[in-house]
């Protein structure tokens, strides 16, 4: 089963890391990515640019509005994602728990819905 893992990060915490700490975290992350690729559990992963570059789009009453920044007013924003293949939800949680930035942020794990249901969305 496929799971989308959203890595939430607090930019100020990452910015506060020394260059050496950042390079260590980066190297650890790249090594974990390689491990997941070799086990065929990683489908795709990408970092995102700063939340400061985000724009939130809404359409209400047929009119589009765009607001700078992420929609949620939180300290943590989505910093990236990884799409994985796991036997079950417990294995997906285990994979997510070993993602290095989970130690300073959080990882949201959500099962991928195969196809859009006809009865209702949720």
Tell whether 117 is covered by a domain. no
Rounded to whole angstroms, the Cα distance separating 66 from 44 reads 28
Tell whether 116 is covered by a domain. no
Pairing label, strands 76-85, 2-10? antiparallel
Tell whether 71 is covered by a domain. yes
Q: Per-residue pLDDT tens, the chain, 122 aa: give them.
A: 999 999 999 888 988 999 999 999 999 999 999 999 999 999 999 999 988 888 888 899 999 999 887 666 667 788 999 999 999 999 999 999 999 999 999 999 999 998 887 877 66
Q: How many CA atoms lie within 13 A of 20 on its CB side?
A: 0
Domain extent for 53? 2-111
Tell whether 43 is covered by a domain. yes
Tell whether 75 is covered by a domain. yes
The pTM score is 0.85
Residue 19 is part of a domain; what is its CATH number?
3.30.70.1060
pLDDT given at position 57:
87
Q: Could you give the number of structural domains in the chain?
A: 1
pLDDT given at position 74:
67
């Amino acid at each position: 089963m496929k799971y989308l893992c959203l890595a939430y990060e607090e930019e100020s915490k990452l910015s506060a890391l020394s260059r050496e700490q950042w390079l260590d975290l980066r190297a650890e992350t790249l090594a974990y990515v390689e491990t997941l690729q070799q086990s065929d559990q990683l489908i795709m992963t990408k970092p995102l640019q700063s939340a400061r570059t985000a724009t939130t789009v809404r359409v209400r009453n047929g009119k589009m509005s765009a607001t700078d920044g992420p929609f949620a007013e939180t300290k943590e924003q989505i910093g990236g994602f990884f799409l994985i293949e796991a036997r079950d939800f417990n294995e997906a949680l285990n994979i997510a728990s070993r993602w290095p930035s989970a130690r300073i942020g959080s990882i949201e794990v959500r099962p991928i819905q195969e196809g859009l249901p006809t009865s209702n969305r949720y």
